[in-house]
Amino acid sequence: MSEASVIFQELPAASGKLGRVTLNVAATLNSLTLEMVDLLQEKLDVWLHDDAISAIFIDGAGEKAFCAGGDVQALHRSAVATPGGPCDYAEKFFAREYRLNYTLYTYRKPIICWGHGIVMGGGLGVMAGCSHRVVTEKTRIAMPEVTIALFPDVGGTWFLNHMPASSGQFLALTGASINAADALYTGIADRFISSERKSEVLAQLLCQDWESEPSTHHALAHYVLRSFAKQSADQCPVGQVESHLRSINTLCDGDDIHGIIDNIVSLQTDDLWLSKASESLSHGSPLAALWISRQLIALRHASLKEVFQSEIQLVTNIVRHPEFAEGVRALLIDKDRRPSWQYQSSRDVPADVLAAFFDAPWDINPLADL
């Protein structure tokens, strides 16, 4: 396979063409770099205005991951290079990544995402924005940003707020891992198709009459994927979110965020999934848990554009703060898993410290023109 970090192909169909995008850095689980984000944005912009390209198929190289997120180590290097001040690479990365996410959500042509394997962070941002989102028996999804003092961004403020009952809040605070059935239940995926059928799906997409009226192209994609989903239905794994929804709602029923955190971290249970979720939050940044909660509540009725404009404001303030650098250091750099968080509990965080993360750090929002 090519050494390019992103491979683009224009595949001739029965009529018209299918654009194929492959994230091609399997060694890093196809984690996104600024270069990859820019390449994706440029090609999507070109294909949007190319009448020969009727639909797009996005997948990841290798069998382990569609995309495990952004290149967090590069973001860490940027953050520690200018502690407390503007982080050139990190801030450019997030602004362009969120612009790419918004492009995906608003793209008028069908984009089929093959979300096989690990789909985390920035990878979920790509998948969630596509119009036709496929998951497989190997799909593993998580937004564990609380463990590195970040927050579920890349549109997480949008799709987590649209999940059933308190499930989005719970997943945001705990970073709990979910599978294909959970992705369908929570609305971040559209179809389950077994991974062994990928080549057949591609073949059928290439058999379609894509030169027909453009208004029918989404229906064509639905038609192809629907049949494979029906054939794969009995291979879908058992989910966790729906079966645990009553417990999730009870845990998230607190007088305030501090009470909700208490409920989750003090949970005593033999249930492995809930236990892992509780442990994740207990080891996460108390400060991050607060800005995660505040972001979700403040933007619960926001438009998609407002979501991304708010997310770039919050993430810019976060990468300029030492909590993020410390979280990445402990989990991914030194890997001692012993972060020295600035506050021992959420109640220790001063109100003005939390509020400062929601103040604009510049005169003009980088995404003001969305």
For the chain, give every domain's residue range: 6-356
145 catalytic residue (yes or no): yes
Position 236 scores a pLDDT of 97
Out of 16, 60, 69, 70, the active site residue is 70
Out of 59, 71, 91, 145, the active site residue is 145
What six digits make up the tokens of 75?
A: 């973001």
Position 212 scores a pLDDT of 73
Level-2 CATH architecture, domain 6-356: Alpha-Beta Complex (3.90)
Secondary structure E strands in 236-369:
none
Phi and psi torsions of 343, nearest 5°: -135, 140
Position 269 scores a pLDDT of 97
Q: Are strands 191-192 and 132-135 parallel, antiparallel or unpaired?
A: parallel
pTM comes to 0.97
Positions of the chain with pLDDT lower than 70, given as ranges:
1
Tell me how far apart the alpha carbons of residues 144 and 62 are, in angstroms, rounded to a whole number.
23
85 catalytic residue (yes or no): no
Position 210 scores a pLDDT of 86
Out of 60, 115, 122, 155, the active site residue is 122
361 burial (CB, 10 Å; 0-12 / 13-18 / 19+) is middle
- pLDDT tens-place string over residues 229-286: 999 999 999 999 999 999 999 999 999 999 999 999 999 999 999 999 999 999 999 9
Alpha helix segments (H runs only) across 130-174:
156-161, 167-174
Q: Are 189 and 180 in contact (CB under 8 A)?
A: yes
Position 1 scores a pLDDT of 56
122 catalytic residue (yes or no): yes
Handedness of CA 205, 66, 215, 42 (dihedral sign): negative
What six digits make up the tokens of 227?
A: 């049949």
Position 62 scores a pLDDT of 97
DSSP state of 245: H
Out of 59, 153, 182, 311, the active site residue is 153
